[in-house]
Amino acid sequence: MRFVVRLLLRQRTALVTALLWSAAFVLVPMQVPLLTGYLVSGVTGQGATFFGLVPVADPTTVLTVAVVGLVLSAGAYAVAAYANTASVSELSRRTVATLRKALVHRLDTASGEVHERFGSGELLNRVLVDTQATREFVETVFFTTVQNVLRVAYPVVVLFLISPTIALVAAAFLPVQYLLTRHLQHRLRSATRVARATQGRLTASVKENLDGIEAIQTSNAEGPAIRKLWAESDQLATDQVAAKVYGGLLSGSTWGLTSLGLALAWGIGGNAVLHGAMTLGALVAATGYVVLLYTPMQRFTSVANIYQKGVVAFERIQEVLETPSAIVDDPKAPALRVDEGRVTLRDVSFAYSGHNVLENVSLEVPPRSLTILVGRNGSGKSTLLKLLTRLHDPTSGTVAIDGQDLRTVRLASLRARVALVPQRPTIFSGTLAENLRLGRPGATDLELVAALREAGALDLLRQLPNGLATALGPGHRSLSGGEAQRVAIARALVREPSVLLLDEPNSALDHESESALVGTLAALKGRRTVIVIAHHAGALLGAADRIVVLDGGAVSEAPLPRPGRTRPRPAPTHAIVRPGAGPS
């Protein structure tokens, strides 16, 4: 709740407006029992008063005053109901928007460890489902809680003025109901938390199925995949029913106790009327306020599930927002200055989940050269590229460009000068131009065309029906593996990087596309430092200045193929510099 209050206090004006209209929404209809009791006492000739004050003997005057008061209350209530709904909805809309923006900013700037900890399916669930649950919480629970303070305090005060005995009897049920509700709430929250975790796992499994639908279908694995999802769906239904059971117990106990309290109030008040100690109008007013006193408890049971879902949703959102990132960017740090583009690693080690991926690796990449990095699966090639873009920081050692430790420069300046093209580049829904401008929104069309030319993708541009304005993605123009690779390279080049990193760019290319890639890399290396990971170097060797083998936590340099060979000799993975040794 402290997290919720801090969030709402950022929007003080909207919060105060909503609170004022909520108070009016609660207090205006609470005058109806008093006016009704005043009317009954007046028209029955028993003498009408407001809390024993302002006695009026004329029934016609009483009727007129009461009816006018009820009409005014109805009008004021209509205005308050509209204003309350509008102001609370506006506040909840802003709250959800603020949370989603904070989550998106957090996920886009967090280090890789944060994403690996939660997983994309779980994070998707928290950004979309949990934030929506917070809107219901703010609208239905937070303001209901605030309103309930008035719904309890005002009737108690009026009841003591009308009949202290009825007030004490009615109020005696409140602590009993509070203790019982507190106990059941604890059980309900635990059950709700389990159900939300199960829903998160189901969301992640569904996303994995959608992402891997080709692998499932081509492996004839539809049956096991379906049965797994069915099992998780059944488990979610079981967990949700368990939460509903506690909600039902909470609802039943509340209605039972409050109905008993109302019955006792009628009994005590009716006896007082029979003995002349209370007027009929006072009894009507008193029982009306008893009903209002118990209404918060009865209403709370109807929002108990929303309350628990909202609390759990805020917990899950808060967990993501407050999970520390391993990458810390100092806004006061200097910007990275790249004069040559020399990449240096000194005694670099990196471990993930206690497993050493790199150990005492030292390497120096000359500026404006093409270096091919080869090695066995799991040797740490992709991890090395992530260190160069600070998706991770090394456990020990130094990663530097032109002598500047990457941990000592501003992150934005680093990623402006170092571009990474992943093994499976993502083409986002939108136009070709929007994809190319991803890292540099202000790039001109001429600059986009220049980047496409440099990436060897001008033929692709000519084939597209609307050129740069061609829509890509589901339902629009799709790209082949080679086309997507060239667009991704062009997207990186639009940023004019000094260091270009490519992770297995030829892994899914045919011979023609690979040949085009070789020409592209050969043209790029004279103007910037290029490092390419290649599980199977193949034709890329013809454009390389050097080949570096990464294996066993160390690096060595392999010989380039001699001119005239039709088939390049494979890089020897046995050539290893032992941990701690310098670069070859």
Q: Residue 334: what pLDDT?
A: 92
pLDDT of residue 232: 86
Q: Does the pLDDT of residue 50 top 70, yes or no?
A: no
Q: What percent of the chain has pLDDT over 90?
A: 11
Say if residues 490 and 452 touch (Cβ distance below 8 Å).
yes
- At residue 579, does pLDDT exceed 50? no
The residues with which 364 forms a beta bridge, in sequence order, are 344
- Domain ranges in the chain are 2-322, 343-421+496-558
Q: Is the pLDDT of residue 516 over 60?
A: yes
Mean pLDDT of the 329-352 span: 88
Degrees, nearest 5: CA angle 70-74-80:
135
- pLDDT score at 303: 64
Cβ of 70: how many Cβ atoms within 10 Å?
A: 15
| DSSP class per residue in 64-128 | HHHHHHHHHHHHHHHHHHHHHHHHHHHHHHHHHHHHHHHHHHHHHHS-HHHHHHH-HHHHHHIII
- Closest alpha carbon to 88 in 152, 190, 17, 40: 17
Confidence (pLDDT) at 557:
67
Region 387-402: mean pLDDT is: 90
So what's the pLDDT on residue 326? 75
Centre a 10 Å sphere on the Cβ of residue 477 and count the other Cβ atoms it contains: 16
Which CATH architecture does the domain made up of 2-322 adopt? Answer: Up-down Bundle (1.20)
The mean predicted confidence, pLDDT, of the chain is 80
Q: Please give the DSSP secondary-structure letter assigned to residue 560.
A: P
CB 123 within 8 A of CB 107: yes
Closest Cα to residue 303, out of 143, 486, 115?
143
Q: Is pLDDT larger for residue 216 or for residue 405?
A: 405
CB 440 within 8 A of CB 507: no
Q: Is 50 exceeded by the pLDDT of residue 6?
A: yes
pTM of the predicted model, to two decimals?
0.61
| Angstrom distance (rounded) from CA 429 to CA 440 | 17
Q: Is pLDDT of 39 > 90? A: no
Task: Name which of 415-424, 461-470, 567-576 the model is least confident about.
Answer: 567-576
Residue 396: name the closest of 346, 352, 328, 354 by CA.
Answer: 346
pLDDT band at 53; cut points 50, 70, 90 = very low
Residue 574: what pLDDT?
33
What pLDDT is recorded for position 553?
Answer: 61
For domain 343-421+496-558, the CATH superfamily is: P-loop containing nucleotide triphosphate hydrolases (3.40.50.300)
- What type of residue is 126? R
Which of 54-58, 224-228, 258-262, 472-476 has the highest mean predicted lDDT (pLDDT)? 224-228
Q: Is the pLDDT of residue 564 over 60?
A: no
Q: In sequence order, which residues have a C-beta less than 8 Å from that of residue 39 and are 6 or more positions away?
A: 48, 62, 63, 66, 67, 281
> Among 71-75, 130-134, 541-545, where is mean pLDDT lowest?
541-545
Q: Is the pLDDT of residue 446 over 90?
A: yes
User: Over the stretch 448-507, which tens digit does the pLDDT of each residue have?
Assistant: 999 988 888 888 888 988 999 999 877 788 888 778 888 988 999 998 899 999 888 876
pLDDT digits (tens, 9 = 90+) for 161-190: 888 888 888 877 777 777 777 777 778 778
How many angstroms separate the CA atoms of 487 and 493, rounded? 10
Q: How confident is the model at residue 409 (pLDDT cuts 50, 70, 90)?
A: very high
Quickly state the pLDDT bin for 572 (edges 50, 70, 90). very low
Residue 404 has pLDDT above 90, yes or no: yes
